[in-house]
Amino acid sequence: MSILTNATRMWLTRSVTPFVFTDRPDRQLFYEECENLGLYVHIPFCRSICNFCPYCKTVYAEETCSRYVDALLQEIHMTGQMLTARKRVTSLYFGGGTPALAADRMKEIIEVIGQYYIITEGIGVELHPDNVTPPLLETLRNAGVTKISIGIQSFQEKFSSILGRGIAEPSVLSAGLKTVPFETISMDFIFALPGQTFEDLKNDIDTAFQYGANHIAIYPFIDFTFTSSTVRPLPKKEKRVLLDRITAYCLDQGYVRTSVWTFSGEKQAVYSSMTRDNFLGFGCSAATLLKDQFKINTFSVEAYISRILAGQLPTSLTLRFTLRQRMVYYLFWTAYSTQVDRADFEKFFGVSLEKMYGLELAAARLLGFVTRQGNVYRMTAKGAFYYHYYENFYTLSYIDIMWGIMRKEAFPKRIEL
Ligand SMILES: C[S@@+](CC[C@H](N)C(=O)[O-])C[C@H]1O[C@@H](n2cnc3c(N)ncnc32)[C@H](O)[C@@H]1O
Ligand code: SF4
Per residue of the chain (417 residues), what is the pLDDT tens digit? 467 677 777 777 777 777 889 888 777 888 999 989 999 999 999 999 999 999 999 999 999 999 999 999 999 999 999 999 999 999 999 999 999 999 999 999 999 999 999 999 999 999 999 999 999 999 999 999 999 999 999 999 999 988 989 889 999 999 999 999 999 999 999 999 999 999 999 999 999 999 999 999 999 898 888 888 888 888 878 888 888 899 999 999 999 988 888 999 987 888 876 667 899 999 999 999 998 899 999 999 999 999 999 999 999 999 998 898 899 889 988 888 889 999 999 999 999 999 999 999 999 999 999 999 999 999 998 898 888 877 777 788 788 889 999 999 999 999 988
Q: How many residues comprise the chain?
A: 417
Distances (CA, A) of 396 to 3, 216, 221, 223: 12, 24, 12, 8
How many angstroms does the Cα of residue 254 sit away from the middle of ligand 1?
Answer: 26
Rounded distance, CA 92 to CA 184, Å?
A: 14
- CB distance 190 to ligand 1 below 6 Å: yes
Which amino acid residue places its CA nearest to atom 3 of ligand 1? 151
- Residue 97 alpha carbon, nearest atom of ligand 2: 7
Rounded distance, CA 90 to CA 100, Å?
A: 22
- CB distance 205 to ligand 1 below 6 Å: no
- Structural domain spans, the chain: 1-17+323-408, 34-264
Which amino acid residue places its CA nearest to atom 14 of ligand 1? 53
- Of the options 3.50.50.60, 3.30.9.10, 3.20.20.70, 3.30.1180.20, the CATH number for the domain spanning 34-264: 3.20.20.70
How many angstroms does the Cα of residue 3 sit away from the middle of ligand 2?
Answer: 31
Rounded distance, CA 47 to CA 43, Å?
A: 12
Which amino acid residue places its CA nearest to atom 3 of ligand 2? 46
Got the DSSP string for 267-309? TT----SS--SEEEEESTT-EEE-SSEEEEE-S-HHHHHHHHH
**CATH code of the region 1-17+323-408:** 1.10.10
Q: What share of the chain is helix, strand, coil (3-state, %, to 5)?
A: 45, 20, 35
How many angstroms does the Cα of residue 49 sit away from the middle of ligand 2?
Answer: 6
Burial label, 213 (beta-carbon count in 10 A; 0-12, 13-18, 19+): buried
Got the DSSP string for 222-245? ---TTS-----PPPHHHHHHHHHH
